[in-house]
Structure 1
Amino acid sequence: MMNMASTHPTPLAGQHALVTGAGQGIGEAIARQLLARGAKVTVLGRRAAPLQTLVEEYAGQCQAVQADVANAEAVQAAFENAASTFGGIDILVNNAGQAASAPFMKMDLATWNAMLAVNLTGTMLCIQQVLPGMVARGAGRIVNVASTAGLKGYGYVSAYCAAKHGVIGLTRSLALELASKGITVNAVCPGYTETDIVRDSIARVVQKTGRSEEQAMAEFVKGNPQGRLVQPNEVADAVLWLCGSGASAITGQSIAVAGGEVM
């Protein structure tokens, strides 16, 4: 992945980026990459505490807002708050997400609705908040952090897969609607990444099956031809590229960051 810092130390200076689910893992890595390239960054999460490290580390360049992305009223208030301080949002990274696993025949409606709400509806609500300003300015970058689960099926996470496939469909449709307006819409699709979500999934496998942590980990990495978990910074690098001027002709794409698992 191209390192934009090699050609210009602050290629995103003067731009306001908002990253959802930015308190840890992939979201935090993305926020750090954007901050390092000069953007002002609003980090959004449900809990304030995990966001404060970035706010304190990048005083004046980073601010935090709280919202559950599935709550329309909370999202509107958070985005209005963000814009009141740093101005209109030029870059939106929809990273907030959750994964719940269950055999389809044992999955209840509440789980189904929860997966659609946070992974798909939340993405839609956040995009709705930034589009009017982006269209008015004739420029914008929207990057949806989906998953390889948006490109292929996985057993026992049918609701999550359905939601992430929905994110890919939304990405493609919006890319066409906005192609002539200076706005690009893309998705980045990580494979199993070394985050709390995957660590929690491994812990559940250990608890339910009695396997060792090493055996459970092996199940998660065996689908990756590189034989490892993806690192959050590797996903952030892909997002950063899509946010830059060099990716102006890239829109409607779903880029797998998965060691060759999906081709």
Structure 2
Amino acid sequence: MANSSLPLAGRHALVTGAGRGIGAAIARRLADEGATLTLLGRHPEPLEALAAELPPGACAQVLVCDVADAQAVARAWQTLERRGDAVQILVNNAGQAASAPFTRTSDELWQRMLAVNLNGSFHCMRAALPGMLAAGWGRIVNVASTAGQRGYAYVAAYAAAKHGVIGLTRSLALEVAAKGITVNAVCPGFTETDLLRDSIGNVVAATGRDAGAARAEFTRHNPQGRLVQPEEVADAVAWLCTPAAGSINGQSISVSGGEVM
């Protein structure tokens, strides 16, 4: 039985890209705060493994969906509506990162970064918002990136998409500010995830550096001299979903050890 004294008891949260990394950490943290979860992602196996790990009753369902596909997102929300599972908390975490020099950024790479990182957040926000408006309460947290606050070389498409997420966050936050809904972004710096480990592997393959030197290239951006941990990002997301953050709206909160923007 859920602990009714927990801040998010009785709230239904949907986390996209929940199968690993930051998304999985967010799902665990929201469950600790009492939320009931829908885990959404492209591959069922990691979602089902996470669902089995969560406390009994914490996971309402697993949904397989590519957020870049507007029709697939619409079908996922139809499934939720048939079950009577209104989404009160939406965490848009699904994303991809790819690097290339600007002159070698193909149309395909550009569109893929926009489709997953920006369009995917838009599709899910558009689907979730009517239910939040009807209820007069909602929390939307978009996982952006420090790349959306300052930009980095060789990731122009990714940085442009994450800048777009921040702009989308600020615009919607103003529209719903008086309707009981908050919309915020969390912007992690380089974070210890499978995605980052893949990036380190790509640097090693492309440059011939050893893994330690490649890792140092990422940690140097953080004044604390380390990588951010997924659980630290999850803590920030969870706080934004609680009643204590009711006055926080339209913000882009950097979780980066003090990286200068």
1:174-197 CA distance string (max 9 Å, x none): 000000111000000000000111
Q: Tell me what 1:229 maps to.
A: 227
1:10 counterpart = 2:10: no
1:212 counterpart = 2:196: no
Q: Tell me what 1:200 maps to.
A: 198
Structure 1, unaligned runs of 5 or more: 1-7
CA contact (8 A) 1:149 1:161 kept: yes
1:88-146 CA distance string (max 9 Å, x none): 11000000000010001011100000000000000000001110010111110000000
Q: How many positions carry a matched residue from both structures?
A: 256
| Separation (CA, whole Å) in 2 of partners of 1:33 and 1:86 | 24
| Separation (CA, whole Å) in 2 of partners of 1:9 and 1:227 | 38
Matches within 5 A, 1:172-191: 172-191=170-189
Aligned-residue offset at 1:64: 0.6
1:12-66 CA distance string (max 9 Å, x none): 1111000000000000000001111111100100000000122223343212101
| Separation (CA, whole Å) in 2 of partners of 1:34 and 1:241 | 9
Counterpart residue type for residue 30 of structure 1: I
| Separation (CA, whole Å) in 1 of partners of 2:50 and 2:220 | 34
Q: Tell me what 1:61 maps to.
A: 58
Structure 2, unaligned runs of 5 or more: none
CA contact (8 A) 1:42 1:82 kept: no
1:44 counterpart = 2:46: no
Q: Tell me what 1:4 maps to.
A: none
Q: What is the TM-score normalised by the length of structure 2? A: 0.96
Matches within 5 A, 1:7-156: 10-58=6-54, 59-62=56-59, 63-85=61-83, 87-156=85-154
| Separation (CA, whole Å) in 1 of partners of 2:112 and 2:228 | 26
| Separation (CA, whole Å) in 2 of partners of 1:209 and 1:246 | 47
Identity %: 63
Aligned-residue offset at 1:85: 3.4
